[in-house]
Amino acid sequence: MQELCIFLFLKFHYQKAQNKHTRLKAAVHYTVGRLCQKIGEEHRREFSRQTIAAIAETTFRECDIFAKDLEAFARHAKRSTVSAEDVKLLARRSSALSNHIQNKSEELAQEQRDSRKKSTVKRKSRDTEEESRE
Amino acid sequence: MPGQNIIAPETVSKLLCSSFKEDKTRSTLLMREMLKVFVQEAALRSLKQAESEDCSQIEIEHFEKVLPQLLLDF
């Protein structure tokens, strides 16, 4: 009886994990399809369904490899969190890709700095308003 | 004997997650860019291959031809 309970418990969680896996794959397939459609339209050509499926599958598998690499990089740096530097390292094989990711990283850093400045300015103006009311 | 307050581990992790200021960290945004570039490269290279072969539709054979170099670049 106990073995049966354990078996059912494991089966339930395995299926849950599988469902998540399938849903993720479907999400990747959908997004890849949309990107391919857009590129196809821009160049007046169409991607066959088989090609889209193949690109989606390759992307999904490549993402798995990326995740393992990122984990290894973070562990090597004795960190438990993956950082932006780890992602930049991932893009090291092609100089064009490396530059693109570096630029994007700087762009994002600038956006974050700007949004933080805005929130402190808002807070300061709110504080001075309250002061003047008193 | 004072009552013991045992907070479930899930509650603790939820509390920690809610204290993160940024919903989307820089590393996840960069990963999103990496994957987007990957898909775009795969699609554009397959398209260029199809164009060089004078094909109107991009077939899986075109993708297969560009796949090795794509994986080497990434």
CB contact under 8 A, B58 and A82: no
Closest Cα of chain B to A134: distance in Å?
Answer: 31
Distance in angstroms (rounded) separating the CA atoms of residues A111 and A117: 10
Structural domain includes residue A86: no
Same-domain status, A69 and A100: no
Structural domain includes residue A122: yes
CB contact under 8 A, B34 and A88: no
Same-domain status, A73 and A51: yes
DSSP-H helix ranges across chain A: 2-42, 49-76, 84-90, 95-133
Query: Looking at the partner chain, which of A55, A94, A100 has a beta carbon nearest the beta carbon of B39?
Result: A55
Query: What's the angle, vertex CA A93, arms to CA A50 and CA B49, rounded to 5?
Result: 35
A19 Cβ under 8 Å from any chain B Cβ: no
Same-domain status, A100 and A69: no
Please give the backbone phi and psi of residue A46, each rounded to the nearest 5 degrees, phi first: -120, 145
Closest Cα of chain B to A61: distance in Å?
Answer: 11
Residues of B in contact with A111 (CB under 8 A): none
Structural domain includes residue A10: yes
Same-domain status, A70 and A108: no
Find which of B51, B56, B60 to mutate to test the A interface (most A CBs within 10 Å of its CB). Answer: B60
pLDDT value, residue B23:
52
Residues of B in contact with A50 (CB under 8 A): 59-60
Map tokens 């794959």 to a residue.
A25
Closest listed residue to residue A67, CA positions, set B31, B25, B37: B31
* Whole-structure pTM value: 0.76
Same-domain status, A100 and A120: yes
pLDDT value, residue B70:
97
Mean pLDDT of B31-49: 95
Query: What's the angle, vertex CA B58, arms to CA B32 and CA A37, rounded to 5?
Result: 45
CB-CB contact of B26 with B9 (8 Å): no
Q: Is the dihedral of CA A93, A97, A98, A99 positive or negative?
A: positive
Same-domain status, A15 and A73: yes
CB contact under 8 A, B37 and A58: no
Same-domain status, A57 and A102: no
**What percentage of chain A carries pLDDT values higher than 70?**
90
Same-domain status, A41 and A107: no
Last residue of a domain, one of A81, A108, A125: A81
Amino acid at A41: E
Q: Looking at residue A33, which CATH number applies to its domain?
A: 1.10.20.10
Q: Is the dihedral of CA B42, A105, A102, A90 positive or negative?
A: negative
Band (pLDDT 50/70/90 cuts) for residue B21 is very low
Judged against a pLDDT cut of 80, whether residue B10 lies above it is answered with: no
Distance in angstroms (rounded) separating the CA atoms of residues A118 and A29: 38
Q: pLDDT (tens digit, 9 = 90+) per residue, A61-109?
A: 999 999 999 999 999 999 999 999 999 999 999 999 999 999 999 999 9
CB contact under 8 A, B46 and A55: yes
Same-domain status, A104 and A127: yes
Structural domain includes residue A87: no
With the CA atoms of A75, A77, A83 and A89 taken in that order, what torsion angle do they form, in degrees rounded to the nearest 10? -100
CB contact under 8 A, B38 and A84: no
Residue A52, exposed/middle/buried by CB under 10 A (0-12, 13-18, 19+)? Answer: buried
Counted domains in chain A: 2
Same-domain status, A14 and A55: yes
Same-domain status, A68 and A110: no
Q: A105 lies in which domain range? A: 93-133
Same-domain status, A70 and A45: yes
